[in-house]
Chain A
Amino acid sequence: MSEAHVSRALSTVSAGEGGGVTGAVMERFVYDDAIVRKFLTATMVWGLVAFLVGLLIAVQLAWPAANLGFEYTSFGRLRPLHTNAAIFAFAGNAIFAAVYYSTQRLCKARMWSDRLSALHFWGWQAIIVSAALTLPLGITQGKEYAELEWPIDLAIAVVWLGFFGTNFFMTLVHRRERHMYVALWFYIATIVTVTVLHVFNSLVVPAGLFKSYSVYAGVQDAFMQWWYGHNAVAFFLTTPFLGLMYYFMPKAAGRPVFSYRLSILHFWSLVFIYIWAGPHHLHYTALPSWASTLGMLFSVMLWMPSWGGGINGLLTLRGAWHKLRDDPVLKFFVAGVTFYMMSTFEGPMLSVKSVNALSHYTDWTIAHVHSGALGWNGLMTFGMMYWLLPRLFQTRLWSTKLAEYHFWAATLGILLYIIPIYFGGITQGLMWRAFDEVGQLKYPDFVETVMRLMPYYWIRVVGGSIFILGALLGAVNFFMTWRSRPAVYEEVVHEAPRLSRSYPEATPPPTRLTGNVEFGKRLEVWITMWWHRVWERRPIKFTVFVVIAVAVASLFEIIPMFLIRSNVPTIESVRPYTPLELAGRDIYVAEGCYNCHSQMIRPIYAEVKRYGEYSKPGEFVYDHPFQWGSRRIGPDLAREGGRQSNAWHALHFEDPRQVTENSTMPAYPWLLGQDLDFASIQSRVRAMAMLGVPYGEAVKDGVAERMARAQAAEIAASIAAQGGKPGLEGKKVTALIAYMQRLGRDATNPAPAEGGAP
C-alpha cells in the first residue's frame, strides 16, 4: 500500500485539478504512526477501565453491598469516574488516534510538531490519571461530565487547545493537499467548539486548591451546564466520530463516499443546529419556558442533519455489502452507524416535552446514552481499531475470528444492556405518575418503584459483562497482534509537492437553466455548492465560519438567559445558606449525591403530589453550582427540609437500611466518624461572597467558623435529644444534615416556625 501512496501523490503533480503545481518542489515526508499506536493503546486500556467501573456501579445499583464500604468506591464518587473515563479517556483517546492517523494522510503531511504530539499524549494521560485519583477522593465541581476541579480544568484547556489544537491547525496550514476532506471539517468543529464549551462552563472562583464554586448560580448554571453537557455529546462524541467514519469507512469498504453534497449540507446544519438543543435536558424545570421550547424545536430539527451522516455512511457501502460477511471491521462500522441513527432519532423524540415528562429522571435516558456510547462510539472505535492494528503494527491481525466474536459479544451485550433498561425506565416513569382510584399516588413509597427495577438491573449487569467480555477479546487480539510486530517498523517515505501560493480562483459552473429569470439561474448555480469547494482550501476561513455558526447559535440563547431579569423572579424569603449549611452542601457535592437525587420538582401534578410545591427559579439564586440532577435513583430532595428529624437523617446516613429496609443508597458511616474541617469554612464563605452572595458579617475573620460551630452543636444536641447518636457536633454529618433540613424551605416557609399552624 505504501507504494500506492507514493505513486498517487506523484500523480497529483500532473493530474491535480487546475494548474499551479507544475514545476513545484517535491517534498519527502514520513507519517508519525508511533503517536497513533500510543493513542490506540491508551484507548484500549482506558476503555477497559471505563467499562469495568461501569460494571461495578451497575452492580451497586442492584446490590448496594458492592459499594464495598469504602468512601472511595461508593456510587456517587465512582459514577463520575465512569462517565469521565468513558467520554474523555476511552472516546477521547480514540478520537486522537483517528485524528492523528487520518489528518496526516488527508493533509499529506506529518503532524506539525512531534513534541506537541508527545505533550498532547502524555498531558492527556496525566489528566486522566489525575481524574482517576481526584474523583474517588470526592474532589469535584459537581457538574455532570465537568466534574474535574479547576487545576485539572486548566490543564485540559492547555492540552486540548495549546497542544492538540495548535498541532492540528499548524498541520492544516502546512498541508500538501489543496482541499480539506469532510473528515477534517468535523475535526475542526470538534476542536474549536469543545474549547469554547469547556472554558465557559468551567469558570469558577477557587476556594482552595481542590475546591471551587461555579461563577453561575441556579438557573443560569443549569443552562450553561447543559449547553456544555449536550454539546459535549455533540462535539466530543458525535462530530469527531463522524470524521472518523468519513475516513475509515470508505477506506474499509473501498468505495467512494455516497454524496459529497450531503456531507456539506449535514455538516453545516449539524454544527449550527446542535448548539441550540441543550435546554432539552431541562424541560419543565425552573428554566424559562422559551429556552426549553427552543431546545425542543432545535432538537427536532436536528434529526435530519444527524441522519445525513448516517445515510452517507451506510450508503457508502452500496456495492460492498457482500464484504460485510467476512470483514469484522465493516460489521463494527455498520452496526455502529445503525446505533447512531437509532440514537439520533431517539434524541429528538426524547426532546419532545410530553415524552420527556415521562422519560426525564428515569433509566430511559441511561439506555439512550448507552445505545449511543457503546453502540456508536464503542463500535466505531473498535471497528477503527481492527482496521488500524495490522497497519500500525505492520503485521496481520492476530485473529479475525476473535474479532468476529468481539463484534457479536459487543452487539449482543449492548442489546442486553439497553433493552431491559428501556423497560425499567418506562416502568418507573409510569409508576411515578400512577394514581389509585381515590386520587392518591399508587406507589407513594419511592423504594417500591426502585425494587421493581431490580430484575432489569441484573439483566443489564449480564449485558454489560458480555460487552466487556468482547472488549477483553479485543484486548487479547490487540496484544497478540502487537507481539507479532516487526523488530523495526518500516517508515514509508512519501512524496508530494508543496502547495503553491497561487491557485486559480474557482468560477461558478454555468447554469443549466434556460429561459428563466436571472435570480432562478443564480440560485440554481448556488445550490450546486461550488462555492464550498473554495472554502475547503481555506482552513482559517473555514474555522472562522465554524466559530461563527457555533457562537451565533450559543449567543442567541445565552444573552437573553443572562440579561432578562424576569427569567429568574426574585423570592424575598430566599436567603444564603448558613456557613454550616454551605459546608454541608459541599459534602453533598463531594459525595456526588446529585448522581442519584434531583433537586428539581417539575410543575407536574404527580410530582407535586409526591414531593411538594414545584421548584421556582428564584429558589436557586445562591446555588453555586446548581444541583438539580438528571436522574432519580433516589427520590427528589428539593423539599427535603423538615420532612425527617435530624436523628432520622443521622441514622439514615450511617446506614439507610436502618430506616428503609430496601433502600439501595450507599451507607455513609464515615460522615459520622470524620471531623468537619471548620477552619476551611471561612474561605468557602469568602469565595461565595466574591460571587455576590450576601454573607454580610460572616466574611469577617473567624465569624463563619463560629457560626458553623454553634449551629453544629445545636444539631448534634437535637440528634442526641431525639434518641440518636450523641457527640456528633464536630462531625461531617451535622453539616450535611443542616443542609438537608434547609432544602426547599425558604420559598414555601416564609414565616419561620409560627407555631406550625397551616
Chain B
Amino acid sequence: MSHEPKVLDHEYDGIQEYDNPTPGWWHAIFWATILFSIPYFVIYEMNPEVPTIQDTLEATRTAELRKQFAEIGELTLDEATILRFADDPKWLAVGASMFRSRCASCHGQQGEGGSVGPNMTDHHYKNVKVAMDLAKVIQNGAAGGAMPAWGHQLSTNEVVMLSSFLVAQRGKNLPGPRPAEGEVIPPFGPAK
C-alpha cells in the first residue's frame, strides 16, 4: 500500500473505518468454494449412478469376504472342519483376532479366563465334549445366558475360525484368575 487509504467520513465512539477494497484472493477463494459446491451436489446427490457410501461398503464387504475366504469357500460346520483349521496358523490368526474383539472381555485376551468367563486354555470344559460343541456354545450361548449366543452375528466361517482357535488354545494352560471349571474331557478329535 503506497499511499494511505481513504478513511470513511463516519466514526463510532472514535472508531473509524477505511474504505479499503476487499482482498481479491478473498473473493477468488469464496467464489471457488461456491463453484465447487454446485457440481459436487449435482454429482453426489442427484446422479443415481454414483455409488452411495452404503454401496461402497457393500462392495468392500464382498471383496474382503472373497479375499479372505476365497481359498476355503463356504465351509461346512462340522467336527472335521474345525479340527482341520486348528492346525493352520494363518486361519488361527483370524480366529485369534475375532476372539479378542468379541470374547476377551470375559475369557481374557488369550483365553486364559477372566473374572466372568472360564479359562479356555486348560483341559477342563463345561458344556463341551467334542470340538463341535464349542461351535454350538458360540452359536447358542450357555449357562442361562452367561455365555451370550452369537449365532445371529457370526457367519459359519467365522464360527469355524473361532472354534478352531479354541481347539488350538487348549492345553496351553495359561494362568487365569479363575479355578478350573467343568470336567476334564478327552482330547479333541483324532490324536494329533
Contact = CB atoms under 8 A, between A and B. Distances in A.
A311 interface: yes
Contacts of A263: 17
A608 B57 contact: yes
A749 B60 contact: no
Contacts of A439: 64, 67-68, 94
B93 A438 contact: yes
Given A301-B33, A605-B57, A4 B14 contact: yes
Interface in A482-513: none
A297 B144 contact: no
Interface string A306-335: 011001000100100000000000000000
A427 B140 CA distance: 37
B27 to A, nearest CB: 8
Interface residues of A, number: 77
A683 interface: no
A247 B15 contact: yes
B146 A722 contact: yes
Given A438-B90, A658-B115, A444 B97 contact: yes
A612 interface: yes
B53 A297 contact: no
A311 B23 contact: yes
Interface string B50-85: 001110110011001001100000000000000000
B192 interface: no
B98 interface: yes
A259 B151 contact: no
Interface string B143-171: 11111110111111001000000000000
A643 B104 CA distance: 12
Contact of B15 (A257, A311, A610): A257
A577 B53 CA distance: 30
A671 B49 CA distance: 52
Contact of A642 (B34, B97, B149): B149
Given A262-B22, A643-B148, A293 B41 contact: yes
A294 interface: yes
Contacts of A304: 26, 29-30, 33
Contact of B106 (A305, A444, A648): A648
A644 B148 contact: yes
A179 B16 CA distance: 13
A87 B74 CA distance: 56
Interface string B113-154: 011100000000000000000000001110111111101111
A445 B104 CA distance: 8
A605 B15 contact: no
A45 interface: no
Interface in A652-667: 658-660
A643 B102 contact: yes
A757 interface: yes
Contacts of B15: 181, 247, 250-251, 256-257
Contact of A445 (B19, B101, B139): B101
B16 A659 contact: no
Given A257-B18, A311-B26, 16 more contacts: A8-B14, A17-B10, A108-B13, A181-B15, A259-B21, A261-B21, A262-B23, A265-B22, A301-B34, A304-B30, A444-B98, A614-B54, A643-B148, A645-B148, A648-B106, A756-B149
Interface of A: 4-5, 8, 17, 102, 105-106, 108, 177, 179, 181, 247, 250-251, 256-263, 265, 269, 284, 289-290, 293-294, 297-298, 300-301, 303-305, 307-308, 311, 315, 318, 436-441, 444-445, 603-605, 608, 610, 612, 614, 642-648, 651, 658-660, 718, 721-723, 748-749, 755-758
